[in-house]
Amino acid sequence: MLRGSKVGLRARYEADVPVLQAELHDDVVTASRANGRPWRPFTPGSKEAPFVVADAEEGNVPFSVVELEGGTLVGSAMLWGLDTHNRSAHLGLGLLPSARGKGYGTDVVAVLCHYGFVVRGLRRLQVDTLADNAAMLRSAERNGFVREGVLRSAAWVMGEFLDEVLLGLLAQDWKPAAQG
């Protein structure tokens, strides 16, 4: 397990999938805001459901997020779009409603940076998020991410186009002490 100050990132367990499905994916508005694809329901146990891990998929590295104190599941995190040639990836996370507002997001981003830069030897990490996602913007910026641009009206979410913000962090600019 990869450890931060408050949370750990570990492999996704089969028992995590129904919890993440119910609390993150089945909330249509939240799921629509978090994913660039249209929301659709999934049958319980479906191998295509969003939180089911396909270990053979090299370009995405999914984690379950757990509290260090007690090991309670509090969310999901991922490095996605992993590009080994350009040594870059995107990162994302989703916290269960009961885990929001506790500083876990900033810690998750810090641990994902450690994984990307130290474990995987990447040179660049990127966050793509909706312009009104204050929690993700704050978590990224607290870890040293810099706003690089706005994609105007780039995301179709629940009947309207919303702006997306792109943030980037280079390995040489990352400061591990920014964790916490």
| pLDDT tens digits, one per residue of 87-101 | 999 999 999 999 999
Q: pLDDT band at 177, cuts 50/70/90?
A: low
The 10 Å Cβ neighbour count of residue 96 is 18
Which helix (H) or strand (E) segment holds residue 138: the answer is helix 134-142
CB 83 within 8 A of CB 48: no
CB 74 within 8 A of CB 65: yes
**Of 33, 73, 43, 71, the residue nearest 164 (C-alpha):** 33
Residue 180 has pLDDT above 60, yes or no: no
Q: Give pLDDT, residue 61.
A: 94
| pLDDT tens digits, one per residue of 11-61 | 999 999 999 999 999 889 988 999 888 899 888 778 888 888 876 667 899
- Which residues form the domain of 94? 2-178
| pLDDT tens digits, one per residue of 102-148 | 999 999 999 999 999 999 999 999 999 999 999 999 999 999 999 99
* Greater pLDDT, 124 or 179: 124
Number of separate domains in the chain: 1
Q: Which residues, 6+ apart, have CB-to-CB distance to 87 below 8 Å?
A: 121, 122, 123, 124
Q: Which residues, 6+ apart, have CB-to-CB distance to 62 below 8 Å?
A: 12, 51, 53, 76, 77, 78
Q: Which residues, 6+ apart, have CB-to-CB distance to 55 below 8 Å?
A: none
Q: How much is the average pLDDT of 67-76?
A: 96
Structure tokens at 49: 């459901």
Residue 178 has pLDDT above 70, yes or no: no
Sign of the Cα pseudo-torsion (114, 87, 121, 11, in order): positive
What predicted TM-score, i.e. pTM, was given to this entire model? 0.93
The conformational region for residue 175 under phi > 0 = left, psi -120 to 50 = alpha, else beta, is beta
Indicate the angle between helix axes 134-142 and 104-114, nearest 10 degrees.
Answer: 50
Residue 18: which CATH number?
3.40.630.30
